[in-house]
Structure 1
């Protein structure tokens, strides 16, 4: 339990930070790709869709799982808090409340990662729809 009390926040925030980094990386890559795309280079709609949707699954996984990673950190923090209380001795309400409030930071961090990624994901989906419609109009 000592390991969790010392390293839980570092582990959770590292995972969420890595997820955030990947989300930024993939989002920027997609925006650059969309700005440079040449529709005449694609011979079929399937190949265009495949190129356009690259990395979107990763963004979907990030936005759908970041809150759960944060919640895992919160649950772990609550477990550590209750374990500390169970060791007996002096139960200080201020310390318990401080520990519980720190545990909730992980859920907040998960939401901070998930919400912008969800917005970016939906904006990219909309841009893909516009590009596909443009491609279809050129092929008619």
Structure 2
């Protein structure tokens, strides 16, 4: 029983933390890339599009999957609650701590997804502006 609680607390939460660090790191990398971008160094619009959209798919994947990982933690924590209830009877303190764990993973998953979505939207907007500027130069 403790192993499952440990797995949820550190496994799911750790995975969500790693996803948030990855999303933030890729966002910072893209911002620095966009700040140093010289449009005239690209021969075709397609090569510019490829350079601009690099890593955006990873951030979008984190955005779409973080809530599901949080939900997985919720399902596992609710299973833990039911297992505790069947083995030890109904103790309000144990039930509440397991349900709090379930809500914690859902909340963290949603926070990671929301922040990553903001990062992705900012970067897509930058990308669209650079493509529009490139069209004006040509």
For the criterion TM > 0.5, the same-fold answer is yes
Q: Aligning the two structures, in what range does the TM-score lie when normalised by the shorter sequence?
A: over 0.9
Which residue pairs with 1:53 in the alignment? 53
- Matched residues in 1 for 2:17 and 2:56: separation? 19
Give the TM-score, by structure 1 length.
0.94
Q: Deviations over 1:18-71 (max 9, x none)?
A: 100100110000000000000111000000000000000000000000011011
What is the aligned residue count? 138
Q: How far is the alpha carbon of 1:84 from its aligned partner?
A: 1.0
User: What secondary structure is seen at the aligned counterpart in 1 of 2:67?
Assistant: helix
Which residue pairs with 2:15 in the alignment? 15
Task: Report 1:78-93 matches (<5 A).
Answer: 78-87=78-87, 89-93=88-92
Which residue pairs with 1:123 in the alignment? 122
Moved more, 97-106 or 55-64: 97-106
RMSD: 1.2
Query: Please, which runs of 5 or more residues in structure 1 have no aligned partner?
Result: none
**Residues 98, 5 of structure 1: CA spacing in aligned structure 2 closer, same or farther, 3 A cutoff?**
closer
Indicate yes or no: 2:129 matched with 1:98: no
Q: How far is the alpha carbon of 1:114 from its aligned partner?
A: 0.7
- Matched residues in 1 for 2:124 and 2:5: separation? 41
Q: How far is the alpha carbon of 1:98 from its aligned partner?
A: 2.5
Q: Deviations over 1:118-139 (max 9, x none)?
A: 0110111111110000001000
Give the TM-score, by structure 2 length.
0.95
